[in-house]
Structure formats: structure tokens, C-alpha cells
Structure 1
Amino acid sequence: MAASPTIRRRQLSAVLRRMRKDAGLSLEEAAKRVEWSRAKLGHIETGERKRPSVVEIRALLHEYGVDTTDPRHKAVLTLVRNAQQRGWWTRYDDILTGSYVELEAEATSIANYEAFGVPGLLQTPGLARLMQRARLWRNAEDIQRAVDARTRRQQILTGDNPTQLWAVIEEHALQRLAGAPEVMLEQIEHLIDLADSSNNVTLQVLPTDAGVHAGVAGPFVIMDFAEPAGPIVYLETYTDGLYLERDTEIARYRRLWDHIRTSALDEERTIPYLKKMMNR
């Protein structure tokens, strides 16, 4: 699967920062050499400038001492061109807002704690449809497109090099489906099948009787990527989401994740527990 434009931009930003530092140039010095503002170069290095041109990046490479005989020259320009491509998700840009799906599509591993629902990557079409109906403004066509988009997202869990997914789900997130028993049964069966048969999917249930635990602050996702792109923590909001990238923030959420996993049933006990839920 090709990397998403968002990830390509993050990789490009990381590579260009490293090349500038290797050349012994400050941000101000490099910007002055190519007659740019400091802000323009800064935006390229942070990925805020979404589509830098090949001509612009070629000028930077020249100032960094990377000429056309250097293998890095072609590799960086390829990153630039790929960052300008459009992913499959743009067909659903009215349904899928923000950059989350682009990032998800390129993650090598995902850790997902869900307090109130089932992670989108694990939802059956029936549950996805039920969740979309709860969004009162959606018509039947929008609901189906949203379900199709969610199904398309789940393809990262299959194939030759699937994403590693580790999910912790609160028991009451499943119990809430009791009002739609067929959907609940189908969803729990799907979780059991995935946990039992997928080498890349690890599932833990956090029982309600575990009481107050480290996840009281709410759900989050930790995504890791191939070098040089660093990890991201995603916090969902009603309209889009918040993305955290600072080392201290990442470390804090990794500690939080470890505490939550400890409070949950381990993988071996989760499947029997889910089977008991089906028979209640």
C-alpha cells in the first residue's frame, strides 16, 4: 500500500530538517540562502505547507550540498511528488474529515483505547450503520457512504503487510448495544473471530467491575510509523480531532496505555469473557 500524502509530507519534513542540520545551517541561514522568509521554510519543515513544489525543494537540496549524483536527491524529490497525490479517502471527504484516515492508513501499529464504543477498524457494517444513524443529520445515502468508507479503512488489517492493531474496549461499550441484540451479537462474534484468528489484532476487554482506572480521561489512539515519521497521539472530538506529537505528550500517553492494559483482561481471558457476554 502506498504511503498517504500526509505521511509523505511528515517524512519529507523530517528529512529536510535533518539535511539542514547536517549542512550546519540554522533555519534563518537556510531561508536567507534561498531568499525565503523564515516562516516559509519553517512551515515546510513542520509540514504546515502541504504541497511544496519540486522546484522549491530542489533549491533547498542545492544549498544543503545534496547534488543530483547523491541518491538522496532523487529520493527526496520522489517524496515531494508523492505528497501531492490524492488518496482513496478523498472520495469521501464529506464523510471523513481531517487527516486521521490518512495517518491511520500508513501506521505500522495502532494502540486504541475506546471508552464509549467499538474502534472503527473493528466495527461490523451493521454497527457502523447503527452508529451513523445516531448522527441525526445523515440521510440514507450518506449513511451507506460512511459504512463503505469504514469498510475501506479496515483493509489495512489484511494483506501482505497488515497494520498491527491493539485495542482495549470497555465492556459497557458493548453492553450499550443490547437495544439492538442482532447487531450486538454480530459485533461480539466479529471481535472473537478477529482476536482468535488474526496475528496482527490483539484485543482486550476492560470489565465494568474493574472500577475507576487510568482511562477515565477518555479514549485515545497512539499511531506509530516507519522512520523517519514519528508517533502521533490522536484525541477525537465531535468535529475532527486533536493531534499530539511532542515527545513528552507521547510518553505520557504510552504510560497511560500501559496502565489501561494492566486494568483490562489479558488476551487469553478476553475471548471467554466475550463468549459469556453473548450468552447473557
Structure 2
Amino acid sequence: MHRPFSPTVRRRRLAAELRRLRDAQGLKLSAAAKLADVPASTLSNIETAEARRIKARDIDALADLYQAPAEAREALHELARESKEQGWWSKYKDVFGGNALPDFEVEASMIRTYQCQVIPGLLQTPEYSEAVFRGGRAYTENEVQRLVEARLQRQQILSRHDPPQIWAVIDEAALRRKLDHPHVMRDQLQHLLNVATRHNVDIQVLPFTAGMHAGLAGSFVILDFPAEMDPGIVYTETATDSLFVQDVPSVQRFVTIFANLNSAALRPPHTLKFIQQIMESDDQYDDD
């Protein structure tokens, strides 16, 4: 089975390649649009990866103008075709809205995440995920089930033959949060111990003893991709919105923050012992 791909990542790659070809010809966008007889607004949308439907005629016109060799032309067409495909997450627009994190996770080679309140979504058990969504009493029963279902679908990337590297720094607060049903948290902590044995998963706990740290502004996810032409991005969210950070200086700032969190957190072997100690410290994870 071939590796799944992201339409959004393909649009970003197509945009970068067309900008590179245009720059190599020394053309400004307006001039290229005029010479290729492509509306400037269309070319601008393509080069900013905002175009959802890209005409083959426009690709051919730009390839002719940029004197792209045959193999490059075909690659451009393939990227344009793949950018129109829809991933499984398109069925969950009610969950993800217009910005779908799985659209990027599916192609990421490394996912670095810092979570200060809850266990990272990719590492959650179904019962824990349900408890998270029920916690705020903001969703109906049907909405909770849809949210849990979508989250479990996201986790399928961990079962691929070529899964991404997952590097999670989790605040101690997320591990000690009490739930209405203690066994749910106990099973979640055991799940962390289990997944931490995988070759592609590294888990670190940021203990309370670390004091003030670089991640006090909140949780975030950094996604890196195998192709050099696909720059890394950062994902953050609030109760009402999600945000993808793509400009290089801002992404680098998050990378630096994560490096600081990594330094302040317990090493993976010490993290496993720490989680085990939490589970054994008292009877809070035993149901009455």
C-alpha cells in the first residue's frame, strides 16, 4: 500500500516549485501571469498554495514560459492532480473545520508536541479522549462520538509501516489530572508506557520541579516533512479556532521553545519510571 499523501502539502510543494521556476527566469509574478496568459490572481493563489482547483492549461502555460523540462512538467501536473484529492478527514469537516491537522500529519516524518493540560491526541485512549471532550460540557452526545471517532482515525498513522517519529513532552499536570472514572486515567497512563516502547515514539514528562519554563504560553505541535521543499509548520489551537504557523522565523521560535522544553523535561527512561510512580503512588486510579 502506497503512502497516503496530503493535498495541502502537495499544493505547498507545487507553489514552491512554480516560484522557483519563475525566479529562475527572473520574472515578477505580474509579468509571468501576463506572458503565460494566466490571471494574476490565479497565479498568486497557486503560488500561495490557496488554489483548490488548478487547470492543466495553466500548468502547461507556466511550464512553457519557464522552459521546464518534460519530467518537471509532468511532476507539476501530478502535484496539481493530487492537490485536488480529498483525504479521509474531509468527512470530518464538522470536527476539523477548514484547517485539518490530519492533512499535515499524514505526510509528516516527525511530529513534536508539547501538551500542558491533556495527553497528546495521537497518544490518547478512546475512553480518555471521550472524557476530554465531555469535560467542558460543550458538546452533544453525537458530537462527542464524532470527535472521538475522528481522533482515533488520526492515530492510524502510528500503525503504518513507515510511521512518523513522535516526540511528546507532556506536563506533569496532564498526568495527575483526576477523572470521574479513575480507571480511565490509569489505562491512559498504562497506554503511554506501552506506546513508549515503540521505536518511533519518545515521551518526556515536564515535572513541576522544572519551575517556570519556555512553554508557559500553551500547547503546540511542530510538524516536519521528509522533502526539503516542504518546510515545517506549527499548529496551535484555542477553544474556538486553530492556527497553522508557517513563516520561517516563527516556526524556528517554536523549535527553540521545544528544545528548551526537551532540556527541562525528564529523559525518556526516567519518564517511564515517573509515570509508573504516579500509578503506584496512591489509590486514586482504583475505582471505588
Q: Same fold (TM over 0.5)?
A: yes
Give the whole-Å Cα distance in 1 for the aligned partners of 2:39 and 2:183.
60
Q: CA deviation at 1:248?
A: 1.1
Give the whole-Å Cα distance in 2 for the aligned partners of 1:146 and 1:207.
29
Q: CA deviation at 1:60?
A: 1.0
- Report what 2:73 is aligned to: 73
* Greater mean alpha carbon deviation, residues 170-179 or residues 56-65: 170-179
TM-superposition CA deviations, 1:45-80 (whole Å, max 9, x none): 11122222222212111111125xx11111110111
Q: Please give the root-mean-square deviation of Cα atoms over the aligned residues, in Å.
A: 1.5
- Report what 1:160 is aligned to: 161
> Where do 1:239-258 residues align within 5 Å?
239-258=240-259
- Report what 2:55 is aligned to: 53
Aligned 8 A contact 1:234 1:242 in 2: yes
Q: Does the alignment pair 1:266 with 2:258?
A: no
Give the whole-Å Cα distance in 2 for the aligned partners of 1:115 and 1:198.
23
> Where do 1:52-201 residues align within 5 Å?
52-66=54-68, 70-97=70-97, 98-195=99-196, 197-201=197-201
- Report what 2:18 is aligned to: 16
- Report what 2:205 is aligned to: 205
Q: CA deviation at 1:140?
A: 2.4
Give the fraction of aligned pairs with identical amino acids, expressed as a percent. Answer: 39
- Report what 1:30 is aligned to: 32
Aligned 8 A contact 2:205 2:265 in 1: yes
Give the whole-Å Cα distance in 2 for the aligned partners of 1:240 and 1:76.
33
Aligned 8 A contact 1:164 1:201 in 2: yes
Give the whole-Å Cα distance in 1 for the aligned partners of 2:217 and 2:125.
26
Give the whole-Å Cα distance in 2 for the aligned partners of 1:272 and 1:110.
24
Aligned 8 A contact 2:22 2:66 in 1: yes
Q: CA deviation at 1:22?
A: 2.0
TM-superposition CA deviations, 1:223-267 (whole Å, max 9, x none): 111221111011212223122112211221111111111111011
Give the whole-Å Cα distance in 1 for the aligned partners of 2:56 and 2:178.
51
Q: CA deviation at 1:271?
A: 0.2
Read off the aligned partner of 1:239 and give its amino acid letter: T
Q: CA deviation at 1:96?
A: 2.0
Read off the aligned partner of 1:234 and give its amino acid letter: Y
- TM-score w.r.t. length of structure 2: 0.92
Read off the aligned partner of 1:107 and give its amino acid letter: A
Q: What runs of 5+ residues in structure 2 fail to find an aligned partner? A: 282-288
Q: What runs of 5+ residues in structure 1 fail to find an aligned partner? A: none
Give the whole-Å Cα distance in 2 for the aligned partners of 1:177 and 1:199.
30
Aligned 8 A contact 2:89 2:100 in 1: no
TM-superposition CA deviations, 1:153-194 (whole Å, max 9, x none): 011112211011100000111211344311110100000111
Q: Does the alignment pair 1:217 with 2:217?
A: yes
- Where in structure 1 do 4 or more consecutive aligned residues deviate above 4 Å? none
Give the whole-Å Cα distance in 1 for the aligned partners of 2:108 and 2:46.
22
Q: CA deviation at 1:137?
A: 4.1
Change (3 A) 1:188 1:77: same
Aligned 8 A contact 2:233 2:251 in 1: yes
